[in-house]
Amino acid sequence: MSDDRLIDSPRAWLTVIATFLSSAVALGSVYCFGAFFQAMADDFGTGKGSTAVIFGLTTFSFFWLSLITSRLADRYGPRPVLAVGAVALFSGLWATSYANSITLGYVTFGAGAGIAAACAYIPMLAHVGGWFEKWRAVAVGISVAGIGVGTLVMSPLAAWLINEYGWRSTYRIFGSGGTAVMAVCVLMMARAPGVAGAAPSRIREAFRSPTFRRLWIAGLASGLALFVPFVFAVPYAKERGISSVAAATLVGVLGGSSVLSRICFSWLTSRFGTFPIFRIGAALFPLAFVIWLLAGSSYAALTVFMVVMGLGYGCFVAVSPLVLADLFGVVGLGSLMGILYTTQGLGALFGPPIAGRLIDVYGGYTMPLLVSLGFAMIAFLLLSLIPTTASGNFAEAASGQAHLLQPAYAVGSALQAIDETLLEIEDWFDE
């Protein structure tokens, strides 16, 4: 079958299934961390700020290593990358289950789960985009829904398993089961046909764009707020007398609502345009934190907060690849996604630990929630400043406005240097 006939073919949908399942187990293992939080803190004898660093380092590793894994998948295909992810998930979770200090946990979970997530999500999603034209939005929406389903299932499951067997045995169960699922996905995944499967670096091109620089800084601001609920919603609820399983279910609610959001918002982009929908999703973040501030001990209000948060999160995940494809095309989309998602890595690295430290210092959640609300508002306002046409499509800002975002230039230069180093290493291996 020719490359053209493979586009939108039944074979293409196998990549959707593989991406859905691999991201569900890899990212689900990371995003259900809130269920493990208190048990690990009690075992290691650490405060909230120190314990939250585990999640921060893991998510930081995930997003930043995606720069490398996306490039490797563009060059060598997705199968070997996903196979490395399966090995990393097994090794990381099992090693973490035997960690005797939080410092060792930083390394084992941060590296193992971080590498697994970096291999299982962004590089695979980019190849999904290359397999489709007519059904690209739907395929991407279904693929990214895997993260939400994984979070929905694994967070309450983790809480139940921890109550029954302890957090260490739970990580061994997740490591074994998740690796088996990813191994099957390796066989189902394949390089996208045609030019969409491989491309040179897009870093320099991306950071030349005023629109992309605004997207990057807005992504950083949203990332500083986004991951706070993943870590602290469960302990917040438990401190207010809510059972551990019910508390962990809140994170599952976030994941479940994000599943609906990813599919629905992906479909809505075909009617209203990608960027207007993307901006609506960003507006949901500050709304969610306002609800959390007012929720108190009400489980119903906390559930509403998680639903709204999940809708915003799902929109970001589902629509951001489409936004980048509209701005730059599908060639090298994996690398472009990796560049944009470095913002989420930085947000995860600093957001939850800062929130945890504020909780330790102020003895409550009001201050970290206000700070998170502030970051969410900054993200929305930055996106609101990106110029668009009457139809909602991008209208690149004049070059004379570029000086407003000089910090992004520095980031772009640093990423370009990293990318050039990776190219040299790849060339060395190819010789």
Quote the tokens at residue 232: 């602290």
Alpha-carbon torsion 313, 121, 136, 217, what sign? positive
Q: What is the CATH number of the domain that holds 206?
A: 1.20.1250.20
Q: How far apart are the first and last CA of the chain?
A: 32
In which element (H, E) is residue 282 found?
helix 274-295
User: Residue 252: which domain range?
Assistant: 8-430
Task: Write the DSSP symbol of residue 244.
Answer: H
Asked if the structure places residue 406 within a domain, the reply is yes
Q: Return the SS3 of 187.
A: helix
**Using 50, 70 and 90 to split pLDDT, how confident is the model at 283?**
very high
Name the percent of the chain lying above pLDDT 90.
37
Quote the tokens at residue 28: 């689900």
Give the model confidence (pLDDT) of 191-205 as tens digits. Answer: 877 544 445 556 677
Exposed (0-12), middle (13-18) or buried (19+): which is 247, by Cβ within 10 Å? buried
Q: Which of 183-187, 209-213, 426-430 has the highest mean pLDDT?
A: 183-187
Beta carbons within 10 angstroms of residue 424's beta carbon: 9
Give the Å distances, CA to CA, from 155 to 71, 159, 321.
31, 6, 26
Backbone phi, psi, residue 133, to 5°: -125, -65
More confident residue, 3 or 232: 232
Domains of the chain: total: 1
Asked if the structure places residue 3 within a domain, the reply is no
Give the model confidence (pLDDT) of 362-421 as tens digits. Answer: 988 999 999 999 999 999 999 888 876 655 556 554 344 444 444 444 444 445 544 554
Asked if the structure places residue 211 within a domain, the reply is yes
Specify the pLDDT at position 173: 96
Least confident residue range of 90-99, 225-234, 324-333: 324-333
Instruction: Report d(CA 144, CA 138) in Å as an integer.
Output: 10
**Using 50, 70 and 90 to split pLDDT, how confident is the model at 286?**
very high
Q: Is the pLDDT of residue 28 over 50?
A: yes
